[in-house]
Structure 1
């Protein structure tokens, strides 16, 4: 058995590799166990490659609307599906290699294989059934094989996988998860998407822009269920204007598979049924934590609703075992996992970091128009007993948005009427995923409306809608 590690991390995704690098910075002898690809689902099959696909769709959209900008695009405008996918995979490949370089630079050992916690302080790694995607030239030197490894602290960062509904299981050909949706052998002419969270809506936006007839089915009354209702309603109107069919308060009760398509049976809230035909279906009904085959049950690690129970420092109910990222529960976001990883390692070091505050975690959906938010929705703020002041500002009143040809948008801010505390911010429109961080910083700095009102926002920028929204909450909007 090799010398004990101070910290051994199971999973090399965003939470795992970031925790490993921070651990190495703090002087811990550190290793990461990974069975397939450094960077995890986010980098290889989620956040990054989908943004590459959406970028291709965005440019395709602009090419088809060149005349709106006084431009002439002669000839046939089309796309090469294989080339679109190839570019997306190349982007992921580049970043995958980058993670390997960073671990090597920080002298973090990488152990290729599948881990089981055999007992507190010991991890057994067996050979993986999957082929590592990491170029061997960039694999950090150190332990690279199966065997038993001792570790004073074990951090579980195994992520999550697509949730599967009984009777509606993906088959990889006619019924897809996000894996198949990112690498189609051909682009379907029609597509049914089950689920309207971030994954479902992003694929709806991508495939609709590329020309497919898209139907989105959502069991809840609202699409983008975690978002503010007003923002979700605004986004829905824009999606429907683009030709996306949206059916809320509706569920898929069954599918019939044909030779090259499916027929889905749908049922609405009143029990009425209908059928929808499509060449392909994407199941985007959430994800499930990867808690199996880790030895957690034998160790008595608490699991609730399919994820590991952990506190704001990543600590489980078993000493020396921690959990971060998707496997530790929602929100299942890469940036949440990364932040959790840093907090967890710093807590182990005794640096007394602040525990994770989930109210400060921004959420972004990279559809067209984009959606971004942080903090409480209007409904949640009122449920919590706050007397609120609400500010709104539409992009149609913003000079930069109009100049960009992107006047469809809305910025909404929610304040505690008694203290001026910013409780939440919600945005829909062009580039709002880049803008939301301004509100995140403000909330972390415990900013009130006074500081935001007195801040100077550059002109002309879309960020001015943020300022105007705050002004509007206090009856001071200038351009509304």
Structure 2
């Protein structure tokens, strides 16, 4: 294996391996360094295996409600070990797929932990292999794609022990089904696990320090989600502060202060910490190179450049939104810039969709209604409920809403927010509209197929103009 390259990528998650493939396509001699498994956290311990778990919960949900579809399924049960085995098998299959892609694109895979030292025209990469030996590599360009990990807050008594207090890793491979589960944090990760365990029968409590769950989403959508989750049996505490999480022999106690100031010590079988993530910036040698790091994230300029010659950074390492598709997009954009295919505009996160794969699903892109008003836009808002959509009724998925926000003056689509069945698939229609700078008029004159859930998107646009047809 060579020790000299055009590009060395450190980290093989969706940002790193996609960047490496694009570099190879452009004729660059490329290597990728990975200390664990190809595919990174997303593929092995995040995006994909969690969706496999949630699919099992979704099938169980349908089985429980089979009678409403005219079907007879007596007392559906789940096999936790089999559910986890399926999820891990899918992760392994896809990790093998990334290995195939590396081979197909002639990308060298270097196993080990990387650190950087000063060098020219880019920092030198030193990789400590599994045998403990250091091997130096040089490249014209080096890209950091080391991702992020679950956040602890030790000072508040919030620290995972891997046994009774879980991060996403342990939550995906549970040794038991907890009867009483506390989920701390109600972002996408917290809500997805809460939804999964609730469907499988756990008594789930979600504690969120903010005044509403899913705080980055539009407030109206958050409210609808909370109402739906409570109907399903989730105990949701907003404005709640959790401290002193103390593992015992088989259970965990936690002090919870509610928004009315009442403090109570409660006991749970397991706790999941979902209080955010921190960038993997340690032990890389960034300090000696003068790389700017703020709040555990590497600072970049919108094109992936760190300010250190020849060194770039992409993905979760560079801050929110912490999404795989954002990392992949940044990786391609950065590589093309390195190769001379310069992009006129820096990376814009406003067109990156966010998705939560709970039951019901939540998806969004662009500005919330509150954010649009804060920015001074004169807006008009359109809404359409799934209850008015024939396909949703046929699916037995009447609970849902599509919300659109437009600039009154220009017709620009400022934001779109959805809750309901398959909205994580539907949102891309609005993403394309924003990317292509389509106006309200363009969307009104777009033909949506019938019968589909996507018709709710058209109706929400029509409603903003006072022309809604089916409510």
Instruction: Provide TM-score, normalisation by structure 2.
Output: 0.97
Q: Which residue of 2 aligns with 1:103?
A: 102
Q: Which runs of 5+ in 2 are unaligned?
A: none
Q: Which residue of 1 aligns with 2:115?
A: 116
- Return the offset for 1:24: 0.2
Contact residue 112 and residue 146 of structure 1 kept, 8 A? no
Change (3 A) 1:299 1:458: same
The DSSP-based 3-state class of the residue aligned with 1:406 is coil
- Return the offset for 1:320: 0.7
Q: Which residue of 2 aligns with 1:32?
A: 32
The DSSP-based 3-state class of the residue aligned with 2:162 is coil
- Return the offset for 1:271: 3.1
**Residue of structure 1 aligned with 2:252, choices 262, 276, 286:** 262
Q: Which residue of 1 aligns with 2:23?
A: 23
Deviations 1:39-89 (A, max 9, x none): 000000000000000000011111111101010113x42111110000000
Deviations 1:352-372 (A, max 9, x none): 124311100000000000000
**Residue of structure 1 aligned with 2:359, choices 364, 368, 376:** 368
Q: Which residue of 2 aligns with 1:159?
A: 147
The DSSP-based 3-state class of the residue aligned with 1:260 is coil
Q: Which residue of 2 aligns with 1:436?
A: 427
**Residue of structure 2 aligned with 1:234, choices 220, 224, 236:** 224
Whole-Å separation in 2 of the counterparts to 1:242 and 1:27: 53
* Aligned 1:354-393 pairs, distance under 5 A: 354-393=345-384
The DSSP-based 3-state class of the residue aligned with 2:205 is strand
The DSSP-based 3-state class of the residue aligned with 2:417 is strand
- Return the offset for 1:420: 0.2
Q: Which residue of 2 aligns with 1:4?
A: 4
Whole-Å separation in 2 of the counterparts to 1:437 and 1:461: 15
**Residue of structure 1 aligned with 2:168, choices 150, 156, 178:** 178
- Return the offset for 1:258: 2.7
* Runs of 4+ that moved beyond 6 A: none
Contact residue 3 and residue 136 of structure 2 kept, 8 A? no
Change (3 A) 1:412 1:128: farther
**Residue of structure 1 aligned with 2:386, choices 395, 402, 406:** 395
- Return the offset for 1:269: 3.6
Contact residue 266 and residue 273 of structure 1 kept, 8 A? yes
Instruction: Provide TM-score, normalisation by structure 1.
Output: 0.95
- Return the offset for 1:163: 0.2
- Return the offset for 1:275: 2.4
Whole-Å separation in 2 of the counterparts to 1:2 and 1:472: 60
Q: Which residue of 2 aligns with 1:89?
A: 88
Q: Which residue of 2 aligns with 1:56?
A: 56
Q: Which residue of 1 aligns with 2:180?
A: 190
Q: Which residue of 2 aligns with 1:406?
A: 397
- Return the offset for 1:128: 4.2
Please, which moves more after superposition, 121-130 or 45-54?
Answer: 121-130
Contact residue 2 and residue 150 of structure 1 kept, 8 A? no
- Return the offset for 1:4: 2.2
- Return the offset for 1:270: 4.3
Contact residue 111 and residue 146 of structure 1 kept, 8 A? no
- Return the offset for 1:263: 1.7
Q: Which residue of 2 aligns with 1:139?
A: none
- Return the offset for 1:317: 1.5
Whole-Å separation in 1 of the counterparts to 2:2 and 2:101: 23
The DSSP-based 3-state class of the residue aligned with 1:216 is strand
Deviations 1:80-133 (A, max 9, x none): 111000000000010000000001000000110100111133111112489xxx
Q: Which residue of 1 aligns with 2:13?
A: 13
The DSSP-based 3-state class of the residue aligned with 2:380 is strand
The DSSP-based 3-state class of the residue aligned with 1:456 is coil
Deviations 1:443-474 (A, max 9, x none): 00000000100001011111011000000001
Contact residue 219 and residue 251 of structure 1 kept, 8 A? yes
Q: Which residue of 2 aligns with 1:168?
A: 158
Q: Name the Cα RMSD after superposition.
A: 1.3
Q: Which residue of 2 aligns with 1:349?
A: 339
The DSSP-based 3-state class of the residue aligned with 2:23 is helix
Contact residue 255 and residue 265 of structure 1 kept, 8 A? yes
Whole-Å separation in 2 of the counterparts to 1:13 and 1:337: 9
Deviations 1:238-282 (A, max 9, x none): 000000000000010112333211121111344321222211000
The DSSP-based 3-state class of the residue aligned with 1:186 is coil
- Return the offset for 1:2: 4.2
Whole-Å separation in 2 of the counterparts to 1:469 and 1:79: 38
* Aligned 1:219-230 pairs, distance under 5 A: 219-230=209-220
